[in-house]
Amino acid sequence: MLKDKKTTKTNDPLRHSSSEASPLRHSSSEASPLRQSNSPRFRQVEAGSEARKETGPIRHFRRQTFSPRTHALSVTSRSVRTEIAKKTAQPSRPAAAAEKGSVRFAALGGMEEIGRNCSFFEYENEIVVIDVGIQFPEEETPGIDYIIPNATYLESKKKNIRAIILTHGHYDHIAAIHYLIEKLGNPVIYTSAFTKAIVKKRHEEFTNAPKLIFETVKPGDKVKFSEHLSAKFFEVGHTIPESLGFVLETPAGNMASCGDFRLETDRSGKPHDLETFEALGKMDIHTLFLDATNAEFPGFTLSERVVEEEIEELIRNAKGRVIIAAFASLVDRLLEIIKIAEKLGRKVALNGRSMIANIDIAKNLGYLKEKHENVIPLQDIHKYKDEKILILTTGSQGESNAGLMRMVNGEHRIVQFKDTDTIIFSSSVIPGNERSIQSLQDNIARQVDEVYNSKLLDIHSSGHARGEDVKLVMKIIAPKFVVPIHSYYYKRKAVIKLAKEVGIEKDRVILMDNGQVASLTKNKFTITDEKVPASYVMVDGLGIGDVEEVVLRDRLNLAKEGMIVIILAIQHSNGRLVKSPDIISRGFIYLKENREIVEEMRKRLRAIIGRIPSYQKIEADYLKTLIREQIGQFVYNQTKRRPMVLPVIIEI
Of 296, 377, 311, 372, the closest CA to residue 338 belongs to 372
SS3 for 426-454, per residue?
CCCCCCCCHHHHHHHHHHHHCCCCEEECC
The pLDDT value recorded for residue 98 is 55
- By DSSP bridging, strand 244-250 and strand 253-257 are antiparallel
Strands across the sheet containing 222-224 = 7-8, 222-224, 230-235, 244-250, 253-257, 285-291, 481-485
Write the CATH number of the domain with boundaries 7-299+463-544: 3.60.15.10
In total, the chain counts a number of residues equal to: 652
The pLDDT value recorded for residue 221 is 96
SS3 for 101-121, per residue?
CCEEEEEEECCCCCCCCEEEE
The pLDDT value recorded for residue 547 is 53
Provide the mean pLDDT of the chain.
Answer: 82
Parts of the chain belonging to CATH 3.10.20.580: 562-651
In angstroms, the CA 635 to CA 592 distance is 16
> Which contiguous run of DSSP H or E holds residue 500?
helix 489-501
Write the CATH number of the domain with boundaries 562-651: 3.10.20.580
The pLDDT value recorded for residue 564 is 87
For residues 572 and 547, the answer to whether their CB atoms sit within 8 Å is no
> Which contiguous run of DSSP H or E holds residue 197?
helix 193-203
Provide φ and ψ at 135, rounded to 5°.
Answer: -120, 140
Q: Which residues pair with 537 in a beta bridge?
A: 148
> Tell me, what amino acid is at 611?
R
Provide φ and ψ at 503, rounded to 5°.
Answer: 90, 15
pTM: 0.75
What sign has the CA pseudo-torsion 142, 145, 147, 151?
negative
Parts of the chain belonging to CATH 3.40.50.10710: 304-452
In angstroms, the CA 193 to CA 207 distance is 22
For residues 187 and 213, the answer to whether their CB atoms sit within 8 Å is yes
Q: Which residues pair with 650 in a beta bridge?
A: 569
The pLDDT value recorded for residue 9 is 46
> Coil, strand, or helix at residue 56?
coil
> Coil, strand, or helix at residue 13?
coil
CB neighbours (10 Å) of residue 66?
16
Of 537, 534, 473, 545, the closest CA to residue 111 belongs to 534
Give me the residues of the chain with pLDDT under 70, please: 1-100, 138-143, 369-372, 431-432, 541-556
- By DSSP bridging, strand 244-250 and strand 347-351 are unpaired
Please confirm, yes or no, whether 382 is among the known catalytic residues. no
Q: Which residues pair with 464 in a beta bridge?
A: none
> Which contiguous run of DSSP H or E holds residue 79?
helix 77-88
Interacting residues of 500 by C-beta distance below 8 A, sequence separation 6+: 506
Interacting residues of 519 by C-beta distance below 8 A, sequence separation 6+: 97, 98, 99, 102, 103, 104, 525, 526, 527, 528
In angstroms, the CA 198 to CA 217 distance is 15
> Tell me, what amino acid is at 206?
F
In angstroms, the CA 297 to CA 498 distance is 11
Please confirm, yes or no, whether 419 is among the known catalytic residues. no
DSSP 113-161: SSS--EEEEEETTEEEEE----B---TTSTT--EEE---HHHHHTGGGE
> How far is residue 622 from each of residues 609, 626, 629, measured CA to CA in Å?
12, 6, 11
CATH topology of domain 304-452: Rossmann fold (3.40.50)
Of 247, 262, 649, the closest CA to residue 462 belongs to 262
DSSP 337-403: HHHHHHHTT-EEEEESHHHHHHHHHHHHTTSS-S--TTEE-GGGGGGS-GGGEEEEES-TT--TTSH
> Which contiguous run of DSSP H or E holds residue 54?
strand 53-54
> Coil, strand, or helix at residue 290?
strand
Quote the DSSP letter at residue 516: E
Catalytic entry in 172, 260, 291, 513? 291
For residues 321 and 389, the answer to whether their CB atoms sit within 8 Å is yes
In angstroms, the CA 636 to CA 590 distance is 16
> Coil, strand, or helix at residue 174?
helix
Of 290, 334, 296, 302, the closest CA to residue 511 belongs to 290
Catalytic entry in 71, 464, 469, 513? 464
